[in-house]
Amino acid sequence: MSRFVTRRAAKIAAALAVAALALSACGGDNTQGPAFVAPKVNATPSPTTPAIPFEFSITPADKKKDLPVSTEIGTKVSGGEVTSVTLTDKSGKSVKGNLRDDKSSWVPSAPLKYDMSYTATVVATSAAGQAETKKISFSTRGRSGNDIGSGLYLFDGKTYGVAMPVVVEFSPGIPKKDRAAVQRRLFVQTDPPQPGVWHWVSSGTQAYYRAPDYWQAGTKITVRAALEGIPLSNGRVGDQDRKATAKIGDKFVMKVDNKTKKMQVLKNDKLVKTFPVSLGKPSTPSSSGTMIVMDKQEHTIFDTFAELGPEEGYRTEIDFAQRLTWGGEFIHSAPWSVGDQGVRNVSHGCVNLAPGNASWLFGQTKVGDPITIKGTERKLEAGNGWTAWNLSWSDYIKGSALPVPAALKGSPATATPTPTATD
């Protein structure tokens, strides 16, 4: 039908198969082979690797003041490892937290309190078993009042489609110089494990997290955007911590080909439906690319007067609308174009379906289900919707503000081809 514009602003577990070569001997019954004795060789002592000196330091500096509530207890150890970290506030109450996987720091499970004194006790043990304890005290600053807005497009207890990226939104966008620090405060756990990578849109207003391939059906995703109090170079600070645990449902994929003007619907990789569609006419084409269902509205109103003006604008009630882009491309019911569906494109960029087909599809889809459209006059613009899947994996990981683990850099064993659209 039409375009409805609403502007909104690692460690991978790589399993390597190792072939164990075993040598065996076979012999006949009641026979004895010749005895082979290895020649005597004077052994040369192997050079020994010098022991790494045990060194241990922590941050922040003792008696440091005015620290952000996002402060972590940094740990640096050589010739040993951190064995315990304890953090207590001035009343002696313990603060929960965990070491990062690389043990570079200990992260509190929730933001620290404002204007509060803390004491950290860290124990490290050398390879030889020597334990050393370091203790520091520090205090946090008060509230800034100059927060940066943030949002997490993942809601606790919800079920999403297999292409659902973890999406964190920022307003205004995060400056490039701050993105690595912010990204280090974005935590994602998946069960079963499917490690992924963060990707920043150029404006810094959104960051996506996805794996090399779609999530496995049944995956549990736990997210923490630990942003409260994190200082940025533009004088702003993170507004709050956001958490969610969600589930991935059955694999449900839609594919639209402009040449045939048909939609194929696959559930768990099996074709279940084929629908005729009408896409955007040449003057207002639909976008070719891999998009994601971002929102679903059983009944809504498309009002285009603000965008198109009084001559071309209109206000129309729409059923079974599923948003695909911020620019206003939807899948929706279009009873007025049933005769055109499967034959010609007449919409302003949306995917038109007959009412019965649109109703059935609406009842099946989830936010996070992917749709790939190919063969139209326009390519999907980066950031126009959740476009995390509209890039090859090798291009996608270039958007990370932190180094990408070697195991995630595109090895065929770890990065299956991304289902991008072609013209």
273 and 368 assigned to the same domain:
yes
pLDDT of 120 higher than 70: yes
Instruction: Count the domains in the chain.
Output: 3
Q: Which of 85, 109, 140 is the last residue of a domain?
A: 140
pLDDT of 67 higher than 80: yes
* 71: its two tokens: 């402060």
pLDDT of 140 higher than 70: yes
- 17 belongs to a structural domain: no
- Give per-residue pLDDT as tens, 353-384: 999 999 999 999 999 999 999 999 999 999 99
Domain that holds residue 274: 252-381
Which pLDDT value is given to residue 152? 97
194 CB-near residues (< 8 Å, 6+ apart): 211, 213, 215, 216, 219
198 and 296 assigned to the same domain:
no
261 and 365 assigned to the same domain:
yes
Which pLDDT value is given to residue 37? 37
- 211 belongs to a structural domain: yes
Which pLDDT value is given to residue 51? 74
187 and 301 assigned to the same domain:
no
> Global pTM?
0.82
pLDDT band at 44 (very low <50, low <70, confident <90, very high): low
Which pLDDT value is given to residue 2? 42
- 404 belongs to a structural domain: no
242 and 261 assigned to the same domain:
no
* 96: its two tokens: 């929960």
Q: What is the domain-level CATH number for residue 241?
A: 2.60.40.3710
CA distance 53 to 77: 10
Give catalytic residue positions: 332, 350
Higher pLDDT, 219 or 234: 219
270 and 217 assigned to the same domain:
no
Q: Which of 13-17, 274-278, 354-358 has the lowest mean pLDDT?
A: 13-17
The C-alpha angle 190, 193, 196, rounded to 5 degrees, equals 75
168 CB-near residues (< 8 Å, 6+ apart): 150, 151, 152, 153, 186, 206, 207, 209, 225, 242
Which pLDDT value is given to residue 91? 96
229 and 168 assigned to the same domain:
yes
* 271: its two tokens: 């074709």
Q: Which of 161-165, 218-222, 419-423 has the lowest mean pLDDT?
A: 419-423
239 and 257 assigned to the same domain:
no
242 and 156 assigned to the same domain:
yes
- 8 belongs to a structural domain: no
pLDDT of 301 higher than 70: yes
Task: Using DSSP bridges, classify how beta strands 252-257 and 262-267 pair: parallel, antiparallel or unpaired.
Answer: antiparallel
Q: What is the domain-level CATH number for residue 375?
A: 2.40.440.10
Q: Is 220 helix (H, G, I), strand (E, B) or coil?
A: strand
pLDDT of 39 higher than 50: no
- 135 belongs to a structural domain: yes
pLDDT of 417 higher than 70: no
pLDDT of 155 higher than 70: yes
pLDDT of 46 higher than 70: no
pLDDT band at 52 (very low <50, low <70, confident <90, very high): confident
Which pLDDT value is given to residue 21? 27
pLDDT band at 284 (very low <50, low <70, confident <90, very high): very high
- 411 belongs to a structural domain: no
Share of the chain above pLDDT 90, in %: 79
Q: What is the domain-level CATH number for residue 117?
A: 2.60.40.3780
- 179 belongs to a structural domain: yes
259 and 367 assigned to the same domain:
yes
216 and 178 assigned to the same domain:
yes
pLDDT band at 304 (very low <50, low <70, confident <90, very high): confident
